[in-house]
Structure 1
Amino acid sequence: MKRIEGPQQLNYIENNTIQSFFSFDISPYIEVFEFDKGEFIIQEGAEPEYLFYMVEGKAKLYVTHKNGKVSLINFLTPPIFMGEIELLNEEKYSKSIQTSSKSICIGIAIEKCKEKLLADAHFLKYLCIFLSNKSTVHSAKYTKHQAYPLENKLAEFILLSSHHNIYKEKHTEISDYFGVSYRHLLHTFAQLADAGIIEKIKMGYKIKSKEKLQALADEIK
């Protein structure tokens, strides 16, 4: 993680109109961070120092169960707040957020303006709408996913999680994410490869036809 400063910092802040979420001047409490691929934005069990707002990149949300098993919950894409539940509930973060590509986040130093944040009706209204929309999207996505075969869901997932047309997520993690057997997942990858949509390579899979992959994914929408 590194801080972005100077004109580049101002560009990220101005281009993402983050000030519009608040009724007070948020600029004194803002920093801009760049995370390399694989870095943790928030460590599991740690209390976030910042309310993060992702403006570029991708990240994965994980949870560790009591038996030690780690599960992928969701992929996070901008624009999105991270750490908002902890701000409202005053609880330590129970899940980890790890980048899957280089990511840029605007960070709001919580301890420096927590009282202002929690007293800002304009911000809290925005946060309520944000959380409501996120919940609605997750519910709709879950319902739709129950109605479609793995081929469509996997196509959507490959598009979301690939980087520069290369997909290299762990099969064990993804079979658990979809609630299917490892064998079923491999069979579906083989189907997509046989159709010329993806190609097996040493590091994972290469997308050969983004259009066909998108067509499969669009059936879910």
Structure 2
Amino acid sequence: MRKIHDPKALRSLMDEHQLSGIFDEKTEAAMELFAFDKGEMVCSVGDRLEHLFMLVKGKIKIYKVLPNGKAILIRFYNPLSTIGDLEMLGELTVKSSVESVNDTLFIGIKQQALVDTAYNDPAFLRFIIKHLAHKLHTFSNASSLNLLYPVETRFASYLVSITMDENDQTQIEEIKTAKLTEIAEMLGTSYRHLNRVISQFAAAGLVERSRGSLFVKDINQLKKLANGNLYS
């Protein structure tokens, strides 16, 4: 994580995501811009967050590590999304791990600054409630997907979720073969079963294997297989 001291960029991102009317001048003065690299952890289970983070560029992955050491995928976040709101309001430690899928930018506000400036502001509270409600809705969807749908649907959903950017535009996504064990675990299946699904997808022209990597080839057909059930 690194801070970016660029007031013009910060103001531009605030305008892009229509944040200016939500926070008062004192709260805006406390805002900072943070950058995370691809694969970098934003926070991990047990951390105490000092900031409320608002994702304004890139994509992040939310997953939960279970008591047996295995991880399960919860969802992906695109802008505009918040990290630390539940922990802030409930005075809780972090319950899920957050990883930067690609290079990301966050607007961060120290929690103490929010206590001093925004806790009693109706506009800010409506903003937080809206995002908490969205998280509850998507968590319910992800739970149903993990429990009730076959691996083919879960993997198609995973591929669609990582391949669509924040503007719902398709980008060619590459997955290193070395990550498939991790992906299988997060989808609640075995590496062997996931490998069979990948072979089926490759035979159908949905993905392509090449030199230790997996590439998404037919996003539209993958969307049909996902049937509207996405980790996003």
Query: Same fold by TM-score, threshold 0.5 exceeded?
Result: yes
Kindly indicate whether the alpha-carbon contact (under 8 Å) linking 2:60 and 2:99 is maintained by their aligned counterparts in 1: yes
Check conservation: 1:23, 1:122, Cα contact below 8 A: no
Contact 1:161 1:167 in 2 (8 A): no
> Contact 2:71–2:185 (CA<8 Å) still a contact in 1?
no
Runs of 5+ unmatched residues, structure 1: none
Structure 1 residue 3 corresponds to structure 2 residue 3: yes
Determine if contact 1:72/1:173 at 8 Å carries over to the other structure.
no
Q: Does 1:165 align with 2:173?
A: yes
CA contact (8 A) 1:58 1:77 kept: yes
SS in 1 for 2:134: helix
Shift of 1:106: 0.8
State the AA in 1 paired with 2:107.
I
2:116 is aligned to: 115
- CA offset at residue 167 of structure 1? 2.4
Aligned length: 221
Correspondent of 1:204 among 203, 213, 220: 213
2:53 aligned counterpart, secondary structure: strand
What runs of 5+ residues in structure 2 fail to find an aligned partner? Answer: 164-170
Give the counterpart of 1:195 among 196, 204, 211.
204
What is the aligned-residue identity percentage?
29
Name which of 171, 184, 187 aligns with 1:178.
187
Say which SS state the counterpart of residue 34 (structure 2) adopts. strand
Distance in 2 separating the partners of 1:154 and 1:212: 13
Alignment TM-score, normalising by the size of structure 2: 0.82
Aligned equivalent of 1:213, options 222, 225, 228: 222
How does the TM-score come out when normalised to structure 1?
0.86
Question: Superposition pairs for residues 135-174 of structure 1, below 5 Å?
Answer: 135-143=136-144, 146=147, 148-162=149-163, 164-168=172-176, 170-174=179-183
CA contact (8 A) 2:75 2:139 kept: no
Alpha carbon RMSD of aligned pairs, Å? 2.5
Q: Which runs of 4+ in 1 moved over 6 A?
A: none
1:141 Cα deviation from its structure 2 partner: 4.1
Alignment correspondent of 1:83: 84
